[in-house]
């Protein structure tokens, strides 16, 4: 039984952590379509944790509602892998969305202190960021190059991950490498790409493959590439399949942010400021 407030908060935070792990697993499966990443087991574990918490707290009606959804999923055709697509056509887990709904109720009911831990998946944080970095109420205009994307995203991530490093250096025998962002607490390197022309797809693909070979290090175990595209060129699934087909291991992931073309004249203004 969960006996006190701290135990309740720990249990809910642990559930959030498991939801994030299941979400990453689902995303990997959706991007690669490989049976190895099939996420049913991970998602069902989240549901079982939710039911256990509700039972321990003696929330009978709450548990009944959750159990009815769980039971229906067990016998449904798609089961725990039921999915839908967001407005950009990217898949997301319907089931994890429902589990998050129940989890939020528990968080609000027991006032879980979010400051004590960071459980939200880095991938989801970056997906949510693109609304901010294109907001002209915050910035003078939409991003016009890779540096804009890099600095805007990094400034936001710094608020969540205080240990973030700007352009950490990876020392090698012959050549040093300098990724855009490093988050030591997650052992994750982040690289940003700006895609505004179809002709740049192939060069960026070559850059990704070159980077994956140079960034190998005992201090970093996860690699994330953020591609900001001003028009719809390639989906996340396309990029991640490309990496797998090229022999890049699953600890390397691409996230595609659907941005906006710069407003008329932005490139001109940027060049004029550079000449001064």
pLDDT at residue 274 in the model: 41
What token pair was written down for 122?
């880095």
Residues 147 and 207 in one domain: yes
Residues 63 and 156 in one domain: no
Select from 116, 142, 174 the last residue of a domain.
Answer: 116
pLDDT at residue 181 in the model: 93
Residues 102 and 141 in one domain: no
Residues 267 and 243 in one domain: yes
C-alpha torsion angle, residues 164, 182, 145, 244 (rounded to 10): -140
User: Where in the sequence is the domain holding 271, given as residue range(s)?
Assistant: 122-275
Is the CB of residue 96 less than 8 Å from the CB of residue 22?
A: yes
pLDDT at residue 21 in the model: 83
pLDDT tens for the 276 residues of the chain, in order = 455 555 787 888 888 888 888 888 888 788 777 777 889 999 999 999 999 999 988 899 999 999 999 999 999 989 999 988 877 677 889 999 999 999 988 888 876 554 433 335 788 788 878 778 888 888 888 889 999 999 999 998 988 888 899 998 776 545 567 889 999 888 889 999 999 999 999 999 999 988 877 666 777 888 899 999 998 888 888 998 999 899 888 888 898 987 776 665 444 334 334 443
Residues 98 and 189 in one domain: no
Residue 85, φ and ψ in degrees, nearest 5: -120, 145
pLDDT at residue 112 in the model: 57
Select from 116, 144, 168 the last residue of a domain.
Answer: 116
Residues 79 and 195 in one domain: no
Select from 94, 116, 138 the last residue of a domain.
Answer: 116
Q: How many folded domains does the chain comprise?
A: 2
Is the CB of residue 204 less than 8 Å from the CB of residue 186?
A: no
Residues 109 and 131 in one domain: no
Q: What is the DSSP string of 213-270?
A: HH--BTTB-EEEEEEEESS----HHHHHHHHHHTT--TTEEEEEEE--PPPTTHHHHH
Residues 259 and 137 in one domain: yes
pLDDT at residue 205 in the model: 93
Residues 91 and 22 in one domain: yes
Residues 208 and 166 in one domain: yes
Residues 87 and 184 in one domain: no
Q: CB count, 10 Å around CB of 219?
A: 10
Residues 48 and 137 in one domain: no
Report the CATH number at residue 231. Answer: 3.40.91
pLDDT at residue 166 in the model: 92
- For the chain, the distance separating the N- and C-terminal CA atoms, rounded to the nearest angstrom, is 68
């Amino acid at each position: 039984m969960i006996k006190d407030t701290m135990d309740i908060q720990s249990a809910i935070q642990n559930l959030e952590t498991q939801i994030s792990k299941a979400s990453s697993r689902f995303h990997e499966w959706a991007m690669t379509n490989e049976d190895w990443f099939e996420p049913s087991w991970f998602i069902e574990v989240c549901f079982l944790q939710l039911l256990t918490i509700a039972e321990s707290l003696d929330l009978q009606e709450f548990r009944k509602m959750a159990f009815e959804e769980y039971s229906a999923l067990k016998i449904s055709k798609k089961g725990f892998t039921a999915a839908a697509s967001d407005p950009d056509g990217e898949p997301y887990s319907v089931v994890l969305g429902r589990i998050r709904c129940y989890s939020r109720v528990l968080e609000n009911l027991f006032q879980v202190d979010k400051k004590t831990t960071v459980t939200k998946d880095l991938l989801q944080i970056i997906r949510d960021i693109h609304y901010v970095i294109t907001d002209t109420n915050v910035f003078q205009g939409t991003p016009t190059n890779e540096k804009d994307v890099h600095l805007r995203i990094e400034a936001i991530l710094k608020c969540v991950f205080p240990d973030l490093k700007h352009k950490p250096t990876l020392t090698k025998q012959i050549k040093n490498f300098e990724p855009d962002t490093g988050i030591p607490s997650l052992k994750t390197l982040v690289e940003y790409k700006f895609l505004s022309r179809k002709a740049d797809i192939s060069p960026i693909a070559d850059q990704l493959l070159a980077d994956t070979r140079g960034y190998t290090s005992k201090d970093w175990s996860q690699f994330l590439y953020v591609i900001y595209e001003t028009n719809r060129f390639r989906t996340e699934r396309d990029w991640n399949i490309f990496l797998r087909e090229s022999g890049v291991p699953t600890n390397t992931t691409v996230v595609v942010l659907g941005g906006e073309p710069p407003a008329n004249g932005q490139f001109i203004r940027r060049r004029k400021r550079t000449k001064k």
